[in-house]
Amino acid sequence: MSQVIELGALWVGSVVDSALATRPVLVNRDPQPAETGIAPWTSIGVHIVDVGPDGIERSATRLWVDGVLAFEGGGSPEFKPGFDGPGSSCSDLPDTLLLVVDPTTDLDSQAVITVRVLTQTKISALVLDQSYQFTVADVDAPALLNARATDRLLVEIQYSELMSDSALVPSAYAILQQQDWLNPSVPLTVAVAVFGTDQSSVLLTTDVEQTPGASYLVTVAEDVTDEHGNPIAPGARTATFTGFVPQAPGARRFQLWEMIPRLNRRQDKTQDLLRFILCLQEVTDQLLADVDGYTKIHDPDRAPAAFLDAMLADMGNPFDLDLDLNRKRKLARILLDIYRQKGTEVGIVNAIRFFFGLEVTITSYNVTTMSLGESELGVDWILGPPITNLWNLFAFTIETEVTLTDEQRTEIRQLVEYMKPAHTHFVRFVEPGDPGYVDHWSLGDSELDLNTLLHL
């Protein structure tokens, strides 16, 4: 009676063609070459196979981990200190040497580990010297390195690693005042959080302006993680920063306390009046900073986005196009020049170049009309429009170097209709692949339905 055994699963790590393989050969490496995300506590296993009749010489086998000798066949001991964990083993089979190295300490997080295997066959002494690498997973907890105020409403948070989107939740940040009874400060709440130059920095926008020079403590929630899901380290969740101090003219001295009569200041034994005046001083300093910022509002290169939109509206911006902030700044600088070039060919070309970054050529629709004294009838001129219909005489086409999208065609047509002279007519785009040439009807030559084409 035969017995059938059903295997739950079968995994083949390597398949070696004995006719083509170089002896000996390294197979079934675990972790595999170039594998990433390996647990730091993993063991390192290899199978060394001789596809010929000799087998592997155990005493000639060596294995290094990142340049450190981990196994020496026939040595005393074979598994070196640091690599002699309970999972270390070496099985010498007739044609295969099964070697597992179990490090006693975890591998470094995100380290690129190089494994080198040196061995030879028993009789023929065929040598194998091969190296490969794998990468350890990131298991380090991120840390909050520092915080600093970069503007009256902005605080930059710097982490030790690239962070996940959990770092962009405003409620994940609590900002507490480090109260000084003589220097009161306003409480802050994070309204918006976005990544800075990269995912290791986060820009926090506070709900109100920070008290200049005040000390604040920012605390990050414990569920904030890095890009690999590691939660922030418990002891590295806080950082202090100083409230942003706006730049002011060096000669200015606008201290309200000094404006109080000396008699009242001498009578302020409890300093309650002083604390009240300091509260008013902060409001005054913020208002002065707003006044100092008026010069930026009128500068297209530095104005905030809201003021830039108002600036363009005040200049009568006629273009209803979706522009980023930098292109809005550029438009505010050249809008008057665009107005001056309106109604000219160069104005159309420059406007398309600015808004779409495209180089175009404008061509009159009728370019082969008669030139007196030079043109020959039926040779190099065509009949122009009659004096009662001058539409064709003032029509033009726009030739592009690239094929336009439907959205570009719509937006460029709107732009051209605004920029062109009022008496002219835009006919169509001539794009790559468009013949661009219309075979006009020639009296005495063209035949109906053969080489006659109705067109504008």
Q: How confident is the model over 16-33, as pLDDT tens digits? A: 444 445 889 998 899 999
238 and 282 together in one domain: no
Q: What is the C-alpha to C-alpha distance for residues 456 and 447, in angstroms, rounded to an integer?
A: 19
Is the bond preceding 24 in cis, omega lying within 30 degrees of 0? yes
Range of the domain at 168: 144-242
Residue 85 scores a pLDDT above 60: yes
Asked if residue 107 belongs to a domain, the reply is: yes
190 and 208 together in one domain: yes
How would residue 366 be classed by pLDDT, with cut points 50, 70 and 90?
low
Model pTM above 0.75: no
**Residue 265 vs residues 112, 155, 213, 268: alpha-carbon distances, Å:** 68, 36, 24, 5
348 and 419 together in one domain: yes
Q: What is the C-alpha to C-alpha distance for residues 342 and 204, in angstroms, rounded to an integer?
A: 44
Handedness of CA 265, 270, 275, 276 (dihedral sign): negative
Q: What is the C-alpha to C-alpha distance for residues 33 and 134, in angstroms, rounded to an integer?
A: 6
Residue 435 scores a pLDDT above 90: no
Asked if residue 250 belongs to a domain, the reply is: no
Predicted local distance difference test score (pLDDT) of residue 300 = 86
Which stretch of 134-138, 142-146, 386-390 has the lowest confidence by average pLDDT? 386-390
Predicted local distance difference test score (pLDDT) of residue 440 = 57
Q: Are 244 and 271 in contact (CB under 8 A)?
A: no
383 and 407 together in one domain: yes
Q: Which secondary structure element, helix H or strand E, spans residue 176, and what is its range?
A: strand 173-177
Is the bond preceding 77 in cis, omega lying within 30 degrees of 0? yes
Asked if residue 367 belongs to a domain, the reply is: yes
Last residue of a domain, one of 135, 158, 183: 135
216 and 260 together in one domain: no
Q: What is the C-alpha to C-alpha distance for residues 409 and 398, in angstroms, rounded to an integer?
A: 11
Last residue of a domain, one of 96, 115, 135: 135
The tokens describing 427, both together, are 């006919």
Question: Burial code of 78-93, b = ≥16 C-beta within 10 A, e = fewer?
Answer: bbbeebbeeebebeee
Which stretch of 118-132, 281-295, 406-420 has the lowest confidence by average pLDDT? 281-295
155 and 222 together in one domain: yes
Could you give the number of structural domains in the chain? Answer: 4
Query: What's the CATH code of the domain at 213?
Result: 2.60.40.1220
61 and 81 together in one domain: yes
Which stretch of 20-24, 264-268, 270-274, 351-355 has the lowest confidence by average pLDDT? 20-24
- Tens of pLDDT, residue by residue over 197-245, are 999 999 999 999 998 888 999 999 999 999 988 999 998 999 999 999 8
Q: What is the mean pLDDT of residues 253-261?
A: 90
Asked if residue 78 belongs to a domain, the reply is: yes
Q: What is the DSSP string of 98-147?
A: EEEEB-SSPPPTT-EEEEEEEEEBSSS--EEEEEEEEEB---PPP-EEEE
Asked if residue 414 belongs to a domain, the reply is: yes
Amino acid (1-letter code) at residue 424: T
44 and 120 together in one domain: yes
Asked if residue 1 belongs to a domain, the reply is: no
Q: Are 130 and 27 in contact (CB under 8 A)?
A: no
418 and 367 together in one domain: yes
114 and 162 together in one domain: no
Asked if residue 286 belongs to a domain, the reply is: yes
Predicted local distance difference test score (pLDDT) of residue 428 = 87
Which stretch of 89-103, 105-119, 442-456 has the lowest confidence by average pLDDT? 442-456
Last residue of a domain, one of 264, 292, 320: 292
Predicted local distance difference test score (pLDDT) of residue 354 = 87
Q: What is the C-alpha to C-alpha distance for residues 392 and 68, in angstroms, rounded to an integer?
A: 85
95 and 33 together in one domain: yes
Asked if residue 359 belongs to a domain, the reply is: yes
